[in-house]
Amino acid sequence: MIISSMAIMITFIISTVVMMISFLVSKKTITDSREKNTPFECGFDPKGSARLPFSLRFFLIAVIFLIFDVEITLLLPLATILKLVNVFSWLFTGAFFILILLLGLYHEWNQGALDWAD
């Protein structure tokens, strides 16, 4: 009983000391409004008008990224089921899925959706 209460006390002291050190070392202050006045990562100005024109190129790249990101996550289970299925069907399924991904990427490239500097 004494050992567990001692361990709890030591854990509390160490976590308090680490929090105090991080508070003293950190550069941010509560009154630092410079971070709040800068635009977000996506390019929107948080204090400006909400009716500014939106970059369609940014939207297209974001949608393409989401589509390919979801397709890559669909490829991940192929590595885990290798020992459970026939190797020929595993290779055929993986190659077919990657072929579809490459055809989609070629189509997007051919249509000019990946050309950012226009």
Residue ranges per domain, the chain? 2-111
User: In this predicted structure, what is the pLDDT of residue 16?
Assistant: 95
User: In this predicted structure, what is the pLDDT of residue 20?
Assistant: 92
User: In this predicted structure, what is the pLDDT of residue 14?
Assistant: 94
User: In this predicted structure, what is the pLDDT of residue 17?
Assistant: 95
* Cβ(39)–Cβ(45) below 8 Å: yes
Distances (CA, A) of 37 to 42, 45, 48, 58, 101: 14, 8, 10, 22, 40
User: In this predicted structure, what is the pLDDT of residue 13?
Assistant: 94
Hey, what CATH topology would domain 2-111 get? Methane Monooxygenase Hydroxylase; Chain G, domain 1 (1.20.58)
Task: Using alpha carbons only, give the angle 62, 65, 68 rounded to the nearest 5 degrees.
Answer: 150
Mean pLDDT by 10 residues, the chain (118 residues): 81 94 75 59 57 72 83 82 84 89 87 72
pTM beyond 0.85: no
User: In this predicted structure, what is the pLDDT of residue 49?
Assistant: 61
> How far is the C-alpha of 54 from the C-alpha of 48, rounded, in Å?
13
